[in-house]
A and B are shown apart, each in its own frame.
Chain A
């Protein structure tokens, strides 16, 4: 059993590790008070990576254009705020809706075909939206980006501050809730059927599952999540640049997810943390330096490391458990 499958088999219950994980994140106000903006970025990227995990790890669609929905969500929230409505949660809802509709409409293009076709269609969609954002400068601000966003206080009481405290709390709360929802979903019969579709779509079809519809549902949901992540980014930084839709962002996202490990729900968050923190420290030295080692690391992961960082952790943990249990299990 791969670490991913083993892990998936056990997340019906709430293992201590998960609870501790979220508690540590919540304690971030005290653990890393001067790095709260960076930590917010990690959370947002983690949510974004989770959305890609739904598409890639659970539904098996290789997508290099997922930033499209992130961007749609970001611009939706940005435009809404710029033109007067700055309430955060409703902004998230609008962004989720826009991204979801976009995802739904494009899902019909994506669920057909095989690997290369899907890769190209998703890339194409991402590039299309990027060009669109570049051209519609009246709405998006084009290359200069969308400025002039005004956010109202969260829940009417917490105004966004320059230390990033409110942004962190806000991002954490949203990410946590969405995470919880997704956790319930992937451990439900629906989630299991998706894994079946990923592993053997022909068989699932023969068993009578509406494969097409499930894929469309999953893809739309992933787009919604990506849109919310994008909106969070827009709201916490009060700026949206065209790079939110760029191919680079889609590629980096995939790297983050692979680094953390696919199909394990938390892989995206772990990968985002590793990626962003490493990027923060290494790219300061020399941007080319960073890109080179990123590429090398990626190759190394493909050649040697299965299931990313989180997969390695899970395997270590299981090996540890078997070593402890061995004496008692002797026949």
Chain B
């Protein structure tokens, strides 16, 4: 009983860590620019497909594939920010929702056309697959890798946010954008960089998650609810909120599907509705 619980906890935390990596970009976008980006899942999907291509067609080693996925997604984010997103910052949330849904549809269509509608099978490298027995519990090595990498990245992000000058600009811009601008912080530039990094992280998360979350053209629409949930529950000022929210969500989802598979996904949606109703003022933006 307790071993299965530990196993579920472990899997849930790994899953949650993955969600966090993907959602952190969304949280920043929302907190910094009050912009609802429903196309965020598309960047994760991009990272996933880059990973599949790099591993299977170009035969790159896994350790190279991950940074490549990050960079390509970050570049895509930068490009789209200049072409499209920039013009939508001051539009209503409805317009943002519509434009980003449109972008999502386009991304799904391109993925479907290029790669076909089926799930992409992926073999993780040998040194990361298999189980290891810890204290009598069988733990999946890949999930452990996800947890470790996620923790390291979270630490790096936190350090960047709290110890660097740029991180200070980001925090200032999230809290009080007008005053930050008045103090000489170029909020537009700050946003461009953070948006790219956020998209890059999403791509990295997507690449890491091909085996755990699955990858097919419908990925953005399937998972956007999870990402939005992390952001809505975790808030957008800082990293701890989304982190805890993501880990909680991961554990609840995995536990729900394991212990009560009949209602599986139900639990997540019910939890979301309940949580949002209890905190209707929206933890999202201070504007």
B78-126 at interface with A (beta carbon < 8 Å): 84, 87-88, 91, 93-95, 97-99, 101-110, 112-113
User: Which interface residue of A117, A290, A295 has the most chain B CB atoms within 10 A?
Assistant: A295
Q: How far is the CA of A132 from the CA of B263 in the complex (A)?
A: 8
- CB pair B109–A295 under 8 Å, yes or no, is yes
Interface string of A282-297 (1 = CB under 8 A from B): 0000111111101111
With an 8 A cutoff between CB atoms, is B133 at the interface? no
Q: How far is the CB of A137 from chain B (nearest CB, A)?
A: 11
Q: Per a CB cutoff under 8 Å, which of B84, B97, B112 touches A62?
A: B97
Closest to B270 in A: A128
- From A114, A120, A292, give the contact of B110 (CB < 8 A): A292
A310 contacts the other chain (CB 8 A): no
Check A128/B103 contact, CB under 8 A, given A113-B282, A120-B228, A248-B221. no
In the complex, the answer to whether A303 meets B87 with C-beta atoms within 8 Å is yes
Contact of B273 among A128, A248, A251, A295 (CB under 8 A): A128
Q: Name the A residues within 8 Å of B109 (CB-CB).
A: 288-292, 295
For the complex, what is the distance from the CA of A296 to the CA of B110, rounded to whole Å? 12
| Nearest opposing residue in chain B for A297, CB measure | B102
B263 touches A302 (CB 8 A): no
Does B273 lie within 8 Å of A124, measured CB to CB? yes
State the CA gap A151–B127 with chains docked (Å). 62
Tell me which residues from 277 to 330 in chain A have a Cβ below 8 Å from any Cβ of chain B.
286-292, 294-299, 301-303
Residues from chain B with a CB closer than 8 A to the CB of A295 are: 101-109
Docked complex Cα distance between A117 and B232 (Å): 7
Which residues of A are found within 8 Å of B84, using beta-carbon distances?
299
Question: Which residues between 72 and 131 of chain A lie within 8 Å of chain B, taking CB atoms?
Answer: 109, 112-117, 119-121, 123-125, 127-128, 131
Check B225–A294 contact: CB distance below 8 A: no
A132 to chain B, nearest CB (A): 7
- B266 contacts the other chain (Cβ, under 8 Å)? yes
Question: B108 contacts A127, CB within 8 Å?
Answer: no
B262–A135 CB distance below 8 A: yes
Contacting residue for B276 out of A117, A248, A301, CB 8 A:
A117
In the complex, the answer to whether A120 meets B272 with C-beta atoms within 8 Å is yes
Is the CB of B36 closer than 8 A to any CB of chain A?
yes
A26 to B280, CA, bound (A): 46
Residues of A within 8 A of B259 (CB): none
Q: B282–A299 contact, CB under 8 A?
A: no
> Measured between C-beta atoms, what is the minimum distance from A327 to chain B in Å?
39
Which residues of chain B from 252 to 281 have a CB within 8 Å of any chain A CB?
262-266, 269-270, 272-273, 276-277, 280-281
Residue from the list A116, A131, A298, A302 in contact with B36, Cβ < 8 A: A116
Given known A117-B232, A124-B225, A292-B105, contact A112–B98 (CB-CB < 8 A): no
Give the CA-CA distance A200 to B35 in the complex, in Å.
21
Kindly state the separation between the CA atoms of A283 and B94 in the bound complex, as whole angstroms. Answer: 26
The answer to whether A302 touches B282, judged by C-beta atoms less than 8 angstroms apart, is no
Closest chain A residue, CB of each to CB of B107 = A295
Within 8 A of A (CB), among B30-52: 30, 36
Q: Let me know if B98 and A125 touch, CB within 8 A.
A: no
Q: How far is the CA of A109 from the CA of B262 in the complex (A)?
A: 25
Query: Interface residue tally of chain A, by bracket?
Result: 35 or more
Q: For A113, what are the chain B residues with a Cβ–Cβ distance below 8 Å?
A: 276, 280-282
Q: Which of A120, A123, A296 contacts B106 (CB 8 A)?
A: A296
From known contacts A119-B36, A292-B110, infer whether A299 and B103 are also in contact, taking CB-CB under 8 Å: yes
User: B232 touching A127 by the CB < 8 A rule?
Assistant: no
Interface centre among B103, B106, B112, B229 (most CB of A within 10 A): B106
CB-CB under 8 A from A64, the residues of chain B are: 97
| Interface status of B284 (Cβ within 8 A of chain A) | yes
Contacts of A297 in B (CB 8 A): 102
Residues in B whose Cβ lies below 8 Å from that of A112: 277, 280
Question: Which residue from chain A places its CB closest to the CB of B218 in the assembled complex?
Answer: A248
Partner pick for A128 among B107, B112, B269, CB 8 A cutoff:
B269
Given contacts A116-B232, A120-B276, A295-B104, 5 further A-B contacts (CB under 8 A): A109-B273, A113-B276, A124-B225, A128-B273, A255-B98
Which B residues fall within an 8 A CB radius of A?
Answer: 30, 36, 84, 87-88, 91, 93-95, 97-99, 101-110, 112-113, 221, 225, 228-229, 232, 262-266, 269-270, 272-273, 276-277, 280-282, 284-285
Residues of A in contact with B (beta carbons under 8 Å apart) = 56, 62, 64, 109, 112-117, 119-121, 123-125, 127-128, 131-132, 135, 247-248, 251, 254-255, 258, 286-292, 294-299, 301-303
Q: List 5 A-B contacts (CB under 8 A).
A: A124-B269, A127-B225, A292-B106, A296-B106, A298-B101
The 9 closest A-B pairs by CB, nearest first: A298-B102, A295-B105, A292-B109, A295-B106, A112-B280, A113-B280, A115-B93, A291-B109, A299-B102
